[in-house]
Amino acid sequence: MGNSNASSQSIRDVGSATKSLKGCQLGFFGVLHTWGRDPAVYHPHVHYVVPGGGVKLDELGHALSWQSTPKNFLFHHGTLIRTYKAKLAEELRAAGLYAQIDREAWSKDFVVDIQPVGHGVPTLKYLAPYVHRVAINDSRIMDVNSETVTYQIRRKGNVMQSKTVAGDDFVGNFLQHVLPTNFMKIRHYGWMSGNSKVKVEEVKWMVWLMLGWTFWLGSGYAPQDEPLTVPMKCRLCGGVMRVIEVSYTSLSSQGIRPEHGLTYYDSG
């Protein structure tokens, strides 16, 4: 998809040119979303989740350490907009579609939104439903007869409004959001991709080390053949304990505050 290619390449290019990320490999993923408040409107755009930093690599491409970006900063907004607009034009030319785009579109401001979201859990909760959600669910359909369908639209300000369309139009509007067979709705890039030399487990360990969370050395997450310390054991059953959840509240009470969390990026 041209939009996914253009936006993901923009993140990589602008990231490599950003001072705080020089010599680093980014890791991020994107989720395609094709509708807005009204399923009749075809509005393809991509939501990206980008950690606030990158992995420093050696000359062989092996991971050295984690480099964080400044707090609440990822890229310069204007640079990303200009890069994305140029990349999208290239994708459209390659697909033979550029001539079909109104020339005035290129003089308009493109919408590229970057928002810091702390440790990122709220953003993941927001994006997760879109993985399996469709353009409209049954609860929004108010009435169906032999000719028309009436459904609800959520307008700005959380105001609900009803809309009635012909049955054939409703089906056509819905089908425009059905993706082709084997089309990848979720795509991973950089060290999050499956063919990356850098593994996610390595990145976890480097981030924990950078934040000073070395008390988890024996948890089994460190990239080592054998544990350097004896893993913690349950005092009741004697079984080996492992980390299953990190509570930011308890970490904060100990004076540990993750300053560089995930960053939310929206190409559309």
Q: Maximum CA pair distance of the chain? A: 71
Residue 252 has pLDDT above 70, yes or no: no
Average pLDDT over residues 72-76: 87
**Tokens 């049954």 -> residue:** 138
Mean pLDDT on 40-58:
91
The whole-number average pLDDT for the span 192-214 is 83
pLDDT at 260: 44
Rounded CA gap, 3 and 151, in Å?
A: 30
In angstroms, the CA 54 to CA 12 distance is 11
Tell the residue number behind the tokens 């349950």, with chain if given.
234
C-alpha–C-alpha distance, residues 204 and 214, integer Å: 12
DSSP secondary structure string for all residues of 95-154: TT-GGGS-GGGGGSPP--EEEE-TTSHHHHHHHGGGGT--S--GGGEEEE-SSEEEEEEE
Q: What is the pLDDT of residue 140?
A: 93
Nearest to 85 by CA among 103, 46, 104, 111: 111
Closest CA to 10 of 123, 109, 89, 102: 89
Averaged pLDDT, 77-99: 94
| Whole-angstrom distance, CA of residue 118 vs CA of residue 263 | 8
Query: Region 108-117: what's the mean pLDDT?
Result: 86
Q: What is the mean pLDDT of the chain?
A: 83
Residue 175, token pair as written in the block: 């089908």
pLDDT digits (tens, 9 = 90+) for 120-151: 777 778 778 778 888 898 999 999 999 999 99
pLDDT exceeds cutoff 60 at 228: no
- What's 205's DSSP letter? H
Residue 28: band (very low, low, confident or very high) from pLDDT cuts 50, 70, 90:
very high
pTM, to two decimals: 0.74
Handedness of CA 189, 66, 220, 196 (dihedral sign): positive
CB atoms within 10 A of CB 195: 5
Of residues 176 and 119, the one with the higher pLDDT is 176
pLDDT of residue 128: 81
Distances (CA, A) of 207 to 10, 41, 51, 58, 68: 24, 41, 11, 17, 9
Q: List, in order, residues 6 or more apart from 218 with CB less than 8 Å away.
A: 227, 228, 229, 230, 231, 232
Share of the chain above pLDDT 70, in %: 83
> Binning pLDDT at 50, 70 and 90, where does residue 188 land?
very high
Vertex 154, ends 151 and 159: CA angle to 5°?
115
The confidence band for 264, taking pLDDT boundaries of 50, 70 and 90, is very low
